[in-house]
Amino acid sequence: MDQKIFQQLKEIVYVNCGINLNDSKVAMVSARIAKRMRRLKIKEHAEYLDYLINDRNGEEITKFLDVISTNVTSFFREKEHFDFFKSYLNEIVESRQKRIRIWCAASSTGEEPYSIAMVCKRAVSNLVDLKILATDISTQVLRAAKEGKYNEEKIKTIPTDLIAQYFTEEIVDRNKIYHVNDVLKNLIIFKRLNLFKTPFPMNGPMDIVFCRNVMIYFDTPTRERLIAEIYRLLKPGGYLITGHAESMASMNNNFKCIKPSIFMK
């Protein structure tokens, strides 16, 4: 890919979703847009760039961002976060709070919000008004998350008792596929959201926000805007959980660090 074309594609990515691609990503971008180019019967990168620039309804921009954004996830990823979450839920239940709102800011293909939902079902009574908002910029991964179907490899990190309680097994072409049950799906609202474009349409207050392993793709001004918006949406005493690789030490923010990657408003 010509370097000038890459720089223009890089700018389109940044302007639309805040992901800051470094110059080592030329091959990755070229490989990821190849499928879109084949579908559109476009042979040259310059022609695809022109197609994007002239995308008036935003459909191709959305599909372009879908293939560029990275989605690496797993059930109960970073277990200590879920241990903390469980203890926090227990505190909320003991306080007899009747409304709980949770936001999973980068839901990917659904492993994280369904993990959150499983912890909630074990800790919180059905009498409590509980909802989980799960957002992502990629319409492609949101479709997979809503469908809630996972192979054997994907569910290896889920305790067997939870699999038995919250998943239904099906054999498809001699392979086991596990379907998330409606008891979990009914707790979650999946929505497309661009974390680059603040303010967000939610009102809050949120009890806890999981925003893990997404800020690593943003520059410092974008991170600071995102953190400020999460702070606005959280209730006093509410928590933000970030990825372990995402430090907030160098950013302007009003959060109090409770543990590594766990912050309180």
In the prediction, which pLDDT does 77 show?
A: 93
Active site residues: 32, 136
Say if residue 32 is exposed, middle or buried (CB neighbours under 10 Å; 0-12, 13-18, 19+): middle
**CA 17 to CA 196: how far, in whole Å?**
5
Question: How confident is the model over 164-200, as pLDDT tens digits?
Answer: 999 999 998 888 999 999 999 999 999 999 999 999 9
Q: Looking at the chain, how many residues does it have?
A: 265
CATH 3.40.50.150 residue window(s) in the chain? 79-264
DSSP track, the chain: --HHHHHHHHHHHHHHH-B---GGGHHHHHHHHHHHHHHHT---HHHHHHHHHT-SSSHHHHHHHHHHS-----TT-SHHHHHHHHHHHHHHHHTT--EEEEEES--TTTHHHHHHHHHHHHHS-TTSEEEEEEEES-HHHHHHHHHTEEETTGGGGS-HHHHHHHEEEEEETTEEEEEEPHHHHTTEEEEE--TTSPSPS----EEEEEE-S-GGGB-HHHHHHHHHHHHHHEEEEEEEEE-TT---TTS----EEEETTEEE-
Question: How confident is the model over 131-161, as pLDDT tens digits?
Answer: 999 999 988 899 999 999 999 999 999 999 9
**CA 51 to CA 18: how far, in whole Å?**
21
**pLDDT < 50: residue spans in the chain:** none
**What's the whole-model pTM score?**
0.87
In the prediction, which pLDDT does 204 show?
A: 85
Q: For domain 79-264, give the fold.
A: Rossmann fold (3.40.50)
Domain 3-68 indexed as CATH 1.10.155.10: yes
CATH 1.10.155.10 residue window(s) in the chain? 3-68
In the prediction, which pLDDT does 109 show?
A: 94
